[in-house]
Structure 1
Amino acid sequence: MTVPDDVLEPVRIAAQAAADKKGHKIVAFDVSEQLSITDVFLIASANNERQVGAIVDGVEEALLKVGRKPVRREGDRENRWVLLDYIDFVVHAQHTEERLLYNLERLWKDCPQIPLELDLAEDADEEL
């Protein structure tokens, strides 16, 4: 089973919104074969709690513009690991320490990674 385009498009919008808020190590996994509750996990890291909150707010704002609203938001009190559930996909915004500790990539390594084609032009300029 592959992820339908009507799911991939908002996932890519969410990924770009996370990148625009300085999220890093942004990856998406097709978990549709392993889980019946969702099709995609999108994961993004941030260096601090404030940045996690900014990523979550940016993702929510970008997806609201295309008519998508999360059915559930968890973890925003501490902003260490915030989960946005959009039914077809789940966004995980994690503090870098939580990302290393829980290592979701290891758990889902057998799932196909979804190409996101992010515009990271700002990050390239910062490295110069």
Structure 2
Amino acid sequence: MVLKACLEALEEKKGSDIVVLEVKNLTLIADYFVIATGRSNTQLQALARHVEEKLEEEEIRPLRVEGFREAQWILMDYGQVVVHLFLPDQREYYNLERLWGDAKIITDIP
């Protein structure tokens, strides 16, 4: 439910290079990481706002949001799902897909 709503929100606001990593067997932090890229600080903030609004419709609020003001890497913690929104250069620099290289990439979201 949370995962699907996050993906819908990111697609609606034209987030790019959206990847879902299943990390539940690798860490206690979360079950899934959702990683997406925005073209500008403004788009990154719009993506974050839309994810938050979409989940608030279901009365789900983030446990924590970090990086919103700077809008280079915005992290939204929804417990089982952590959303990482990056500017292109930040995504390349932090390369979470490589860092969590043992994670399963999820392509089929029910």
- The match for 1:63 is 55
Name the structure with the higher strand share. 2
- The match for 1:11 is 3
Name the structure with the higher helix share. 1
Post-superposition, which runs of at least 4 consecutive aligned residues in structure 1 deviate over 4 A?
none
The count of residues paired between Structure 1 and Structure 2 equals: 109
Determine whether 1:34 maps to 2:3. Answer: no
Q: Report the CA distance between 1:116 and its aligned residue.
A: 5.0
1:99 corresponds to which letter in structure 2? Answer: R
State whether residues 23 and 44 of structure 1, in contact with CA within 8 Å, keep that contact through their aligned partners in structure 2: yes
Determine whether 1:20 maps to 2:12. Answer: yes
1:77-92 to 2 correspondence within 5 Å? 77-92=69-84
SS in 2 for 1:109: coil
SS in 1 for 2:28: coil
- The match for 2:36 is 44
RMSD (CA atoms):
1.1
2:62 corresponds to which letter in structure 1? Answer: P
**For 1:20-69, what per-residue CA distance to the aligned partner results, in whole angstroms no more than 9, with x for missing partners?**
11100001111001111211100010111000000000100111111210
Runs of at least 5 residues in structure 2 that lack an aligned partner in the other structure = none
Distance 1:13 1:27 in 2: 14
TM-score, structure 1 as length reference: 0.81
Distance 2:29 2:71 in 1: 24
Highest CA radius of gyration, 1 or 2? Answer: 1
